[in-house]
Amino acid sequence: MIVILKPQAPEQKVQQLIRDFEAQDLKIHFSQGESSTILGLVGDVAHVDMEQVLANEVVADVRRISEPYKAANRRFHPQDTVVEVCGRKIGAGYFAVIAGPCSVESQPQMETVAASVKASGAAFLRGGAFKPRTSPYSFQGLEAEGLHLLSAAKKATGLPIVTEIMSEDQLDDFTDVDIIQVGARNMQNFRLLKALGHCDKPVLLKRGLANTIEELLMSAEYILAGGNERVILCERGIRTFETCIRNNLDISAVPVLKRQTHLPVIIDPSHAAGNTWMIEPLSRAAIAAGADGLMIEVHNNPKEALCDGAQSLDMQQFADLMQDLKRRVAFEGRELQG
């Protein structure tokens, strides 16, 4: 971190600022130029509050020269993290597909979809029991009953389950859930992230609708800093000026994240596309870009779905897609889980 001092800053106040940094175990590299004086802070600057430094009367500007996330940073953890759940691996060449309906709607629905996506090669079953909907009048999910139906489908098929949590108060009800999903709208729910940092379950962290890659990594950092090392990142499309698609899939987030972090990265083409016809090309793009997995919405009867029917593949479409994806995953030298 670099701190640029104001010209003619009183010496006494500069010395006090230096002492404050030294008290935080930082070493100071002092550089007196012709027009400006710069302090280079050497050490663990993750805890330095940039805004507080900027508020100091002798400081003109503050700049970070390294990333503010540490535990998520590939620089300090060069090998890819492999998240292992119920014998299935994600990351470092292991590729997993998570499939299932947007929301859990009924017992026959879950039974049918779970058996079908398993037969097609999915490694995990998804389904929302608690749905974050834009309108309070839309279907909000079956809640506790939804969790129960997910557990029943897991028992019947052996597929581990992935479902979204909305609040840390729900953690006790998620004991049978195998991967806890944090949805886009909760990516910066810091109380929730902190609570997940202390739990022993893997977390699938989705990127917020209007969040930067650095913000996604800082949210992952909350979970990692609490001691939970099993975090999977998910790019699911971001808001842009474009209106002809639901969200813009930021495919470049995959190589950027792969460079910046050791955590596995998966793509959700369903919430990016908002339609079914784009799922296949976006899935192919995800594999080619280096993603470690996909999360795809599949419904037994998309026309009747209570949520996100327009983007949900029917079971046959998913089976056909998996045939194609299996070849592509193998071609890229990755190992499909399931």
Nearer to Mn ion, 221 or 308 (CB): 308
**In the complex, least distance from residue 314 CB atom to Mn ion, rounded to whole angstroms:** 15
Among residues 118, 154, 206, 334, which is the contact residue for ligand PEP, using CB under 6 A? Answer: 206
**105 in contact with Mn ion (CB under 5 A):** no
Nearer to ligand PEP, 268 or 292 (CB): 268
Nearer to ligand PEP, 67 or 268 (CB): 268
Nearer to Mn ion, 100 or 197 (CB): 100
Interacting positions 180-239 with Mn ion (CB under 5 A): none
**Which residue spans within the chain are E strands per DSSP?**
2-5, 27-32, 37-42, 59-63, 83-85, 88-90, 94-100, 124-126, 161-165, 179-182, 203-206, 231-235, 265-267, 293-297, 335-336
φ, ψ for residue 88, nearest 5 deg: -105, 140
CA distances from 293 to 27, 83, 170, 260, 307 (A): 42, 12, 27, 18, 23
Among residues 99, 161, 184, 273, which is the contact residue for ligand PEP, using CB under 6 A? Answer: 184
**In the complex, least distance from residue 100 CB atom to ligand PEP, rounded to whole angstroms:** 10
How many helices (DSSP H) and strands (DSSP E) are in the chain?
A: 10, 15
**308 in contact with Mn ion (CB under 5 A):** yes
**102 in contact with ligand PEP (CB under 6 A):** yes
Nearer to ligand PEP, 221 or 268 (CB): 268
**88 in contact with ligand PEP (CB under 6 A):** no
Q: DSSP characters for 172-230?
A: GGGTT-SEEEE-GGGTT-HHHHHHHHTSSS-EEEEPPTT--HHHHHHHHHHHHHTT---
**128 in contact with ligand PEP (CB under 6 A):** yes
**208 in contact with ligand PEP (CB under 6 A):** no
| Partner touching 206 among Mn ion, ligand PEP, none, CB below 5 to 8 Å by kind | ligand PEP
Among residues 41, 99, 102, 114, which is the contact residue for Mn ion, using CB under 5 A? Answer: 102
Which amino acid is present at 320?
Answer: D
Among residues 121, 141, 146, 183, which is the contact residue for ligand PEP, using CB under 6 A? Answer: 183
| Partner touching 89 among Mn ion, ligand PEP, none, CB below 5 to 8 Å by kind | none
For residue 73, the Cα-to-chain-centroid distance in whole angstroms is 14
Q: Give the interface with ligand PEP as residue ranges (CB under 6 A).
A: 102, 128, 132, 183-185, 206, 236, 268, 271
